[in-house]
Amino acid sequence: MNLKLHAVVNTEQGYVLIPDQIAYNHPTYGNIKAVALYNYNGSWYYEESIGMNINVDGSLTIPDYVFTIITSGAYSGLMYGNYYSSNNFSTMTDGNGIMIVTFNSTLSSDYTTQTYPVKLTQQGNVVAVENFLNMGYTVNINLAADRTITIDKQLVEQGDAEYGDFYTYAADFTNTGATDVSELIAGDVISGIGTDTELSWGKFIAMSTTGYWTGAMETGRIVRTDNLTFIYDQTPAVKIGDVNNDGDINVLDVTALINYILGKNPSPFNLAAADVNGEDGINVMDVTALINLVLSNE
């Protein structure tokens, strides 16, 4: 699904308004449109028009949440996807000055039997996938020179006290005698293969820290629709400590590293640069090492 929304743009005030509109007609679920959900003084407000601020770099900051909901048929009123305020849309403008908001690729799995938009950003050999599992979070996929791919254990949704936080795992569903969902976990790393325009992987699961799970997903697949290709032979030098990939090592990297450890999913985030003490794994010891590195550079 290549979701497109047309908006009215006010460049003088730095504001974009997406009016109420049908964004997509799904062959199974019917008409789908985007709506905004705002939190004001602790209360939630639902609006069919979506207002967004234009940032200095040209990206758009969306409301607290943007949902795509089904508006017709048997599934009317159900949510089809959700995007968090930390996830900016990619944008372009047509010849008439109308801004087109779009995600540039799609991800599907054969458990949900649905395809939904994701935004891809490749830095070095790491592809950041925004809206992984249609939950609004970013998951990094590692690309190797032999065109194999790996997805390390990562946060895909922050839950409440009952459900806990959900993380990705490789899965084995052949254990029919499993009495606990944790027995279906085959490891922390999901493996797959890639082509110029697709990434695919095998059995996986998203399970929470309290034992809830999203279902038995046999496969996952990302297809590019943006006329770009994945690059597998990049071997850029990693600048240890440059966690946010801005070319400098400073307090902003410390903040990004702390947010990653707390599960706040900062983006961009260079996982290789975050292993500051070189002991594998990202933890508070890397924060201490990074602070020392920042102080030594001053």
CA distances for 1 relative to 18, 59, 206, angstroms: 19, 22, 23
* Token pair of 204 as six digits: 């996986």
**Angle value at C-alpha 8, between 7 and 11, nearest 5 degrees:** 120
Checking if the pLDDT of 153 tops 80, the result is yes
Helices (H), 167-275: 251-261, 271-274
SS3 state of residue 105: strand
pLDDT tens per residue, range 16-39:
888 888 877 777 777 878 777 665
| pTM score, whole prediction | 0.50
Contact 138, 267 (CB under 8 A): yes
At 252, is the pLDDT very low, low, confident or very high (cuts 50, 70, 90)? very high
pLDDT tens per residue, range 46-67:
677 777 777 776 666 766 566 6
At 84, is the pLDDT very low, low, confident or very high (cuts 50, 70, 90)? very low
